């Protein structure tokens, strides 16, 4: 699964900043929840549009991605500019190391996985957050009428839209459930984000934005 993902994303990032260099709306919204100068983790950072924005805003940012292409691009863009930004090629599921963070910004990543991996990913992210730290999560929603239901449904609300790439569409109830044990939800809302799909067409994604504080 991970090898396929790596190959898929390396191929997509062959063309560099495929969604443009501006930060996602959710990265700008995240700033309301991260304390000035705090340590932020950006897992699945892609080519760095959000991690570089957060570093420029003044946070101390560690960011990683499974795609070497994405990290090469991000590192070159950051060279000599962002001293408070560190990039690494690394899997989301790699649990080596003991550093914990004040905040995590997990944008448009968790919906790429099947149920078991989504659970593992959230529990791993929780282990990387300090108590009282804030997780910002964005993911695709069942309200995204232009994308929901395309392809074969392989798990509830999970569709194979492109070859080797599943998309899970979250309901509000599912978000409430996955955060119920370890977090207090501070904000949960739908928002729109313009994005290019693999064919180059521009699409508008209807995404959840969740800000949640780790309570224990
Ligand atoms: C939809 S993109 C989002 C990128 C970035 N968060 C953004 O919003 O620009 C999903 C990202 O997850 C990364 N990814 C997928 N599987 C991964 C894994 N197992 N470990 C680390 N990164 C992974 C991909 O390489 C890709 O950069």
Tell me the C-alpha distance between 157 and 82, whole Å: 39
By C-alpha distance, which of 202, 193, 130, 140 is closest to 165?
140
Residue 5 CB–ligand 1 contact under 6 Å: yes
**70 Cα–ligand 1 center, Å:** 9
**47 Cα–ligand 1 center, Å:** 9
- pTM, two decimals, is 0.96
Tell me the C-alpha distance between 86 and 79, whole Å: 10
Residue 45 CB–ligand 1 contact under 6 Å: yes
- DSSP string of 132-171, one letter each residue: EEEEEEEEEBTT-TTTTT-SEEEETTEEEEETTEEEEPBP
Judged against a pLDDT cut of 60, whether residue 1 lies above it is answered with no
Q: What residue ranges define each of the domains in the chain, with the CATH number in brackets? A: 2-214 (3.40.50.150)
Contact 117, 175 (CB under 8 A): no
Nearest CA to ligand 1 atom 26: 46
By C-alpha distance, which of 176, 198, 9, 158 is closest to 89?
9
pLDDT per position as a tens digit, 85-126: 999 999 999 988 889 999 999 999 999 999 999 999 999 999
pLDDT per position as a tens digit, 195-212: 876 677 788 999 999 999
pLDDT per position as a tens digit, 63-75: 999 999 999 999 9
Nearest CA to ligand 1 atom 4: 46
Nearest CA to ligand 1 atom 10: 109
**197 Cα–ligand 1 center, Å:** 14
Residue 91 CB–ligand 1 contact under 6 Å: yes
Q: Judging by DSSP bridges, how do beta strands 202-214 and 183-196 pair with one another? A: antiparallel
Token duo for residue 141: 């929603």
Q: What is the largest CA-CA distance in the chain?
A: 46
* Average predicted confidence (pLDDT) for the chain: 93
């Amino acid at each position: 699964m991970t090898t396929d993902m790596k190959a898929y994303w390396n191929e997509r990032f062959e063309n560099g900043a495929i969604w443009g260099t501006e930060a996602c709306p959710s990265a700008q919204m995240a700033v309301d929840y991260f304390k000035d100068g705090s340590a932020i983790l950006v897992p699945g950072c892609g080519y760095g549009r959000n991690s570089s924005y957060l570093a420029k805003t003044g946070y101390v940012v560690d960011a990683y991605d499974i795609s070497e292409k994405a990290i090469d691009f991000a590192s070159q863009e950051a060279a000599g500019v962002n001293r408070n930004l560190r990039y690494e090629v690394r899997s989301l599921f790699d649990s080596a190391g003991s550093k914990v963070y004040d905040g995590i910004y997990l944008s448009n990543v968790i919906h790429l996985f099947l149920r078991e991996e989504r659970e593992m990913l959230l529990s791993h992210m929780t282990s990387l957050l300090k108590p009282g730290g804030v997780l910002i999560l964005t993911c695709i929603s069942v309200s995204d009428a232009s994308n929901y239901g395309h392809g074969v449904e392989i798990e509830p609300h999970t569709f194979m839209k492109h070859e080797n790439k599943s998309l899970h569409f979250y309901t509000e109830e599912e978000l409430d459930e996955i955060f119920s044990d370890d977090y207090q939800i501070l904000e949960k809302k739908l928002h729109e984000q313009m994005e290019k799909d693999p064919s180059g067409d521009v699409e508008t994604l209807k995404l959840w934005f969740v800000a949640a504080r780790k309570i224990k």
